Amino acid sequence: MTTVAVTGAARGIGEAIARVLAERGYALLLGDLDASVVDLAASLGGVGGVLDVTDQTSYEAWLSLVPSVDVLVNNAGVMWVGAFDAEPSRVARRQFDVNFHGVVRGTQLVLPAMRARRSGLVVTVASAAAYISPAGEATYAATKHAVLGWMKAVRQELAGSGISLALVMPTVVETELAVGTVSGGVPRLSPADVALAVASVIEKPRFETFVPARVSALTRVLGVLPQRGRDAMYARLVPNQVQAADPAARAEYESKRL
């Protein structure tokens, strides 16, 4: 049986991924800072443990709860929203620690065993913000750009190893992380939308998957337009969170997670 490890699995996208994968017969290792992940895992027939993706010892202890991991799903993430010059430096560091260094840490920890058996898959739930940078999400977008760049390079290094890397890049998803934000010119997604995309990638690996799929075309068009055209498309389709987000609605989330 294929064992899939999912970080940030106690709620939102991570919980949805866990439920979809359990329905499809995968063995699960679920991790989260929230200890309720243990009960969730047990209810799905899997193993759960408290996990801090920013801490090497915590990550190693969590992975040791199962004999091996065939697929790692890097899902844990945090986001601060607001003007770039109002963002506290500790909050910027926190986003990089979780969103980028947490992904790097987990990937580096599972790769040796995958290399030894010449098979394995690392799926990272990144964001359309890996390509598109909304106003009000400067550092968050930077972390996702960093993940994309890092994964592109590592993918080249792993060529011929039997190990696959995959990025799933959704637009705005109806989760705690996105509370109080707006979705711009695309519909707001449900966690299940992303979970189904992750399951599809596990079953048929491919490097980049946008959710919804049409966002892929948008990123390609933005890449070739002159700056004036890009600015016009941003104004029409990409949310400006500085102008439109609700800081009061986000206050509870940001105080707990950042």
List Cα–Cα distances, 187 to 108, 137, 212, 237, 239, in angstroms: 35, 18, 9, 11, 12
List Cα–Cα distances, 21 to 30, 73, 134, 174, in angstroms: 11, 11, 31, 20
* Alpha-carbon span 131 to 216, nearest angstrom: 9
Residue from 131, 140, 234, 253 carrying the catalytic annotation: 140
Q: Is the previous residue joined to 247 through a cis bond, with omega within 30 degrees of 0?
A: no
* Alpha-carbon span 74 to 91, nearest angstrom: 20
Is 234 one of the catalytic residues? no
Q: Any idea which residues carry the catalytic annotation?
A: 140
